Amino acid sequence: MSRIGVFICQCGVNIAEKVDTEKVAEEISKLPSVEHATDYKFMCSSPGQKLIKDAINEHGLDRVIVAACSPQMHQQTFQRAIESEGLNPYFLSIANIREQCSWVTEDPEKATEKAINLVRKKVKRVTHHDSLEDIEVPITKKALIVGGGIAGIQAALDIAESGKEVILVEREPSLGGRMAQL
C-alpha cells in the first residue's frame, strides 16, 4: 500500500484567501493511504521543500502530492526535491488548486470543497503510478517542409544551411506557389 504525503501550499494569499488550506489538509489526512498532510505558506520556497524532504524521511513516504499552483510553474522544483530523497520523480502529482479553485471560485466554502475533491482524486490516482525512468531517444536530423511556396522554400534553405537534411513536399507540379505566378 502506498504511503502518500500531501502538501498544500497557501501561495501567500493567492490560494489561502479563498481556500481553507488547513481544512484541506485535515480532510485529506483522513484518507487511508495518506500518511502525512500539511499546509505551508510557500511550498516552493527552500523551507517548503525542506518540509517535503523531511516528511519523506520521517514518514517513509513513497508518493507525494503538492496542492499548489500550476504544475508548469514548479513541477520540476518539486520533482528535484523528492528525487533528492530517493523517490522516483514521477511519483509526484500536482493538484492545481490556485487556478482551478482559488482564482475561479468566489465562495470560500465552495473553493475549499473543490480543492478537497481535486486532492482526493489525486490521492486515488497517484496510488496507480508506476515507476518511470527517463530514456534517451535518438533524434533523426531531418526536416519535412510541407508546401513549396516562398516561405517553404526559404525554410528549407535555412534548415539545409544548418546541415540538416530537408524533404520538401509540394502538391503542385512546380515550386514557388503564388510567387511563381508573378
Cell of 3: 504511503
Q: What is the pLDDT along the chain (182 residues), one digit of tens a residue?
A: 889 999 999 998 889 999 999 999 999 999 999 999 999 999 999 999 999 999 999 999 999 999 999 888 899 999 999 999 999 999 999 999 999 999 999 999 999 999 999 999 999 999 888 888 888 999 888 999 998 888 999 999 999 999 999 999 998 887 877 766 66
Question: Across-strand partners of 40?
Answer: 9
How many whole angstroms separate alpha carbon 139 and alpha carbon 146?
A: 20
Report the candidate in 120, 95, 115 with the shortest Cα–Cα distance to residue 17.
115
Residue 73: per-residue pLDDT: 86
Question: pTM of this prediction?
Answer: 0.74
Q: Domains along the chain?
A: 4-126 (3.40.50), 142-181 (no CATH)
* H or E stretch at 95: strand 92-96
How confident is the model at residue 1, as a pLDDT?
80
What SS3 state is found at 16?
A: coil
DSSP for 159-178?
HHHTT-EEEEE-SSSSS-GG
Instruction: State the CB neighbour count (10 A cutoff) for residue 17.
Output: 13
Q: Do 123 and 35 touch, CB atoms closer than 8 A?
A: no
What pLDDT is stored for residue 9 in this prediction?
Answer: 95
Q: What are the CA-CA distances from residue 44 to residues 83, 104, 106, 129, 148 (Å)?
A: 15, 22, 25, 23, 48
**Per-residue pLDDT at 62:** 94
Q: Which helix (H) or strand (E) holds 104?
A: none
Which segments of the chain does DSSP mark as H helices, in order? 21-28, 46-59, 71-83, 97, 108-126, 150-161
- Which residues, other chains included, contact 106 with Cβ-Cβ below 8 Å and sequence gap of 6+? 18
